[in-house]
Structure 1
Amino acid sequence: MAERLSAREAIALLTDDFTDDVTVEVTGEVTVEVTGDGTSDGPADGPLGWEGYDASHALAAARTGESESVVHGTAVVDGQRCVLVAFEFGFLGGSLGRRTGDRLVAAYRRARECRLPLVSLVATGGSRMQEGMVALTQLQRVAAETVALREAAVPHVAVLRDPATGGGWATVGAGADVVLALPSAQIGFAGSRVRPPDADPAAYTAEGQWAAGHVDTLVPGLELRAAVGRWLRLLTGGGPRLAAAPVGPPPALAEVSAPATGWEAVALARAPERPRAGAYLDAYVEGRAEIRGDRCGGVDPGMRCGFGWYEGRVVAYAAQGGTPTRPAGYRTAARLVRLADRLGIPVLTLVDTPGAANDAEAERAGAGPAIAEVFAAIAAARVPVTSLLIGEGGSGGALALAAAGNTWATPDSYFSVIAPELAAAILKRPPEQAPATADQLRLRPQDLVELGVVRGIVPRRA
């Protein structure tokens, strides 16, 4: 189990400076003045008249020094200004009640109105039973503010502490653009007391959620300030002016010339020693931070997506690693493109796959819909997308990541409607006819330029 920090301890761990902002809040159209003990005008024992609720509330305030389960204000994290929300688990389990909702709404709105990124330090057991459905409907309020924040192109980074469960995880946490988690933290929609008795406990941990693609990065507490600061710099590094022009394609890394034949092009692209996406990212994209997973329970290790600095500005990247791309990979890439588009950050894709994964598991996971999703995300992007073919371009599984009208190729790459061996088999040709079929497919980089499929062949790195 992760160390349980109070809201103030978590704030101190993360921030350079913090200014509290909880003296006046808004509930609908009614301004609520917060008193010293955290109470406000309203029915005794809350909206349900739950006997003893006022006393429990007062005891929680005395024990924690807080007037509610959420603290919010403006902060500086690693030099970056933001609006900060921190849950106090010691206050009635960090649960969400009406007043908690007021504070969350106030924080989201302040972030939107001031155009400051929102950072949420989540530690909650869920909705407050003593307020019944009034408490649960706070999730709808948070969801509405999440939508408004996204429409205003204001980024949201969530840090999951211990525990992060129930509606707080399902709205504030999982609704963020980037989700970080402290190692060993308990994370899950179902809290520890309401799970099936035979449930696998590993599924409810930060590590389990990371493995399933619901958490982007596990960050130890001492590294949290630098990690959040890096994300804030990257996610606020876009905008209409910077996204107006596409980034240029990276130069080729391999010292090879354009192939003489189609089969030579295939051999160059399949060479084990050929530079892969990792080499291109290391050579050209600095200060990277990666997102992970499709938020549907899937992770494709062969697809790397994230943000970094390239050509002096922030760029979002989606890079295939040379393996058959799985549905989770396409959905993660689509998630990346949509986020970059919303924040005004140009996109760079590195295309390299023999094709989409075609096993039964991939079909059950929705290979077709996932490919359609990334096609649509790139087609709908308002920010410029630049694509570089760095290896194999196997059919629609590769084309899905290629920008129409702004795709380039390296000399050691090829793009084909189908692999030459498969084309020969479909045409009922013997296997030895695959090289000749490769020539007929006109899949060499120079053929692709002539056909208008790619804009040009990038030169080698100087």
Structure 2
Amino acid sequence: MGVQTEASEAAPWISCPECRELVYSKRLARDLGVCPACGAYSRLDASQRVAQLVDAGSVVPFEPPVTVEDPIGFADSLPYRDRLRNARERTGADEAVTCVTASVTNHPVIVAVMDFRFLGGSLGVGVGERIVRACETALRTRTPLLLITASGGARMQEGAFALMQMAKTSQAMAELDEAGILTLSLVTNPTYGGVAASFATLTDVILAESGARIGFAGPRVIRQTIQQELPPGFQSAEFMQAKGFVDAVVPRPALRPVLGGLLGMVRPDGAPAATKATRLIRDPAELPERDPWEVVRLARHGDRPTTLDYVYQLLDDFQELKGDRLSGDCPAIVGGIGRLDGRPIVLIGHQKGHDTAERVSRNFGMALPEGYRKAARLMRLAEKLGLPVVTLVDTPGAHPGIEAEERGQAWAIAENLRLMSGLKVPIVSVITGEGGSGGALALATADRVLAFSNAVYSVISPEGCAAILWKDQAEAPRAAAALRLDARELLRHGIVDAVLPEPRGGAHENPAGAAETLRAALGATLPELTRLNPRELVERRRRRFRRYGIEDARNT
């Protein structure tokens, strides 16, 4: 779909197949193959992709491997060997994938880019071998891998040999996971069949171009099989992102900086920058006694800084990552990779929003199971890459709806508790507002748990407690006092390790100051944890939670 840029070499003006507007070919080239009239994306060949995305002068092509050309002696109206020869003559490429060593914004990367012009970008022995060699080079040199896919599926003319390439390439991707090598994919239009069902969707981060079609079976096959009309946008990049399978749909002009930012997360730029010192409060006597209900109201204040407010103040090169790779993306939890004073981290947090529309769209910060599964996916990515995890907690609790129960809310929360208890990288959790029940704990099973001075953390909301025990929600202030949920009490009982000061009237009175306080607190806390080896981290974290209820947590 889209404008075919090959025509630009033959004619100064070409017609966009989508909107039928005439487009000046040189302008189309300047616009990276995007129609200026309707925004349709052209289908690029491998050399065009490489030229657009990597640093000039950095490309070193791989030597083409020797593979069996025609493993089953296939012929239809034309012998397969003749089809291969014709494809090579027409495209100037030797196969449907080109592999190079290169760099993107000065970050080294191994790139495998597919070319749909070559037999529909089909996956055969030659493609599979090249993808595996790209993986092996990435493994040997410990260099990130970038896959750029465009394919109609497996190559029929190679029979079961083509099918085996799905397992072969998936196995190579697994070895990169085991070695902790970052893998990225850019899914372009179309990516179907054996490619989509193997290496294209096994990467740590999946980016897609707008409108790219992604799936196992193509829409024509699906319609013929089930005899049903497909929903609007079915299998588009945007559709698949909403279903939890794509991290981000990125405009073509933004691809290079986004890829560069992600690649930079595996190569810290020197030591983390020094931050302004802040005094974390560790003695509950230093905190004034407050009316717990007043603190609850401040913790819930609509203008209180959200996770994304803190992200935009604290992190450089932040790339939000979406989806649980299973069923959907939950907007009540946001997360991604960014740099905190030069240190790459994974940050995950509840997102309530500020105005009514955003709060409704984000379920008031009450996550669905896919939100917790997304958080788990990002934590596993952090462990793979050796990055610390920071979580920001601000939720009334997990979403209490029918759909949440149908999709396994309890299972999702339990899995996060188990995962975090054994995660082999540092975890710092900060209660920034409300810490409600298991929905909060699912992001707060951490090495260090901090809280802002107007935050609350409890097994249940005051209203819920009052309704159950006093049979009257009006008794919520009384319940708030009984639950000992304010920062002073949390610190006294060792539920949190330290408290971050904020204005008595709340962090919303000085959001920039709250962000700097958080920056300083993380700057003081992360270094002491990153010095510990993974085994010691896990042992200490498990001891932390093991002791609750059998001894004074503050004195152990």
TM-score by length of 1: 0.90
Where in structure 2 are the equivalents of 1:287-326 lying within 5 Å?
A: 287-322=317-352, 323-326=365-368
Where in structure 2 are the equivalents of 1:190-269 lying within 5 Å?
A: 190-197=217-224, 198-200=229-231, 202-237=233-268, 260-269=290-299
Where in structure 2 are the equivalents of 1:91-106 lying within 5 Å?
A: 91-106=118-133
Classify the secondary structure of the residue corresponding to 2:233. helix
Asked whether 1:329 is paired with 2:371, we answer yes
CA distance in 1, matches of 2:319, 2:447: 28
1:319/1:349 contact within 8 Å kept: yes
Partner of 1:50: 75
Asked whether 1:7 is paired with 2:52, we answer no
- CA positional deviation for 1:442: 0.3
Greater share of helix residues, 1 or 2? 2
Classify the secondary structure of the residue corresponding to 1:61. helix
- CA positional deviation for 1:434: 1.6
Asked whether 1:351 is paired with 2:387, we answer no
Cα 1:235–1:223 shift into 2, 3 Å: same
- CA positional deviation for 1:287: 1.9
CA distance in 1, matches of 2:378, 2:399: 20
CA distance in 1, matches of 2:279, 2:234: 40
Which range is displaced more, 376-385 or 330-339?
A: 376-385
Cα 1:91–1:340 shift into 2, 3 Å: same
CA distance in 2, matches of 1:4, 1:250: 56
Letter in 1 for 2:449: T
Classify the secondary structure of the residue corresponding to 1:350. strand
2:280/2:499 contact within 8 Å kept: no
CA distance in 2, matches of 1:48, 1:422: 71
Where in structure 2 are the equivalents of 1:369-388 lying within 5 Å?
A: 369-388=411-430
Deviations 1:325-363 (A, max 9, x none): 111110110001000011000010000100000100111
Letter in 2 for 1:386: V
1:249/1:388 contact within 8 Å kept: no
Deviations 1:86-117 (A, max 9, x none): 11111110000112111111000000100000
CA distance in 1, matches of 2:460, 2:387: 33
2:269/2:342 contact within 8 Å kept: no
CA distance in 2, matches of 1:135, 1:49: 12
Letter in 2 for 1:49: F
Match of 1:421 among 419, 442, 463: 463
CA distance in 1, matches of 2:53, 2:308: 30
Cα 1:219–1:335 shift into 2, 3 Å: same
2:153/2:195 contact within 8 Å kept: yes
Where in structure 2 are the equivalents of 1:183-194 lying within 5 Å?
A: 183-194=210-221
- CA positional deviation for 1:56: 0.7
Which range is displaced more, 211-220 or 326-335?
A: 211-220
2:241/2:329 contact within 8 Å kept: no
Asked whether 1:19 is paired with 2:39, we answer no
Classify the secondary structure of the residue corresponding to 2:345. strand
- CA positional deviation for 1:249: 10
CA distance in 2, matches of 1:258, 1:210: 47
- CA positional deviation for 1:201: 5.0
Identity of aligned residues (%): 38
Deviations 1:27-48 (A, max 9, x none): xxxxx2xxxxxxx556xx4325
Asked whether 1:167 is paired with 2:167, we answer no
Letter in 2 for 1:378: M
CA distance in 2, matches of 1:434, 1:312: 44
CA distance in 1, matches of 2:413, 2:150: 36
Q: Which structure is higher in RCO with an 8 Å CA cutoff and minimum separation 6?
A: 1
CA distance in 2, matches of 1:153, 1:114: 12
Asked whether 1:340 is paired with 2:379, we answer no
Aligned length: 436
- CA positional deviation for 1:76: 1.2
Unaligned runs of 5+ in 2: 2-40, 282-286, 353-364, 503-512, 518-556
CA distance in 2, matches of 1:271, 1:168: 48
CA distance in 2, matches of 1:187, 1:205: 6
CA distance in 2, matches of 1:121, 1:191: 19
Which range is displaced more, 366-375 or 356-365?
A: 366-375
Unaligned runs of 5+ in 1: 26-31, 33-39, 243-247
Cα 1:351–1:258 shift into 2, 3 Å: farther
Partner of 1:36: none
2:209/2:249 contact within 8 Å kept: yes
Partner of 1:28: none
Classify the secondary structure of the residue corresponding to 1:267. helix
Which range is displaced more, 390-399 or 401-410?
A: 401-410
TM-score by length of 2: 0.75
Partner of 1:37: none
Classify the secondary structure of the residue corresponding to 2:500. coil
Give the aligned CA root-mean-square deviation in angstroms. 2.2
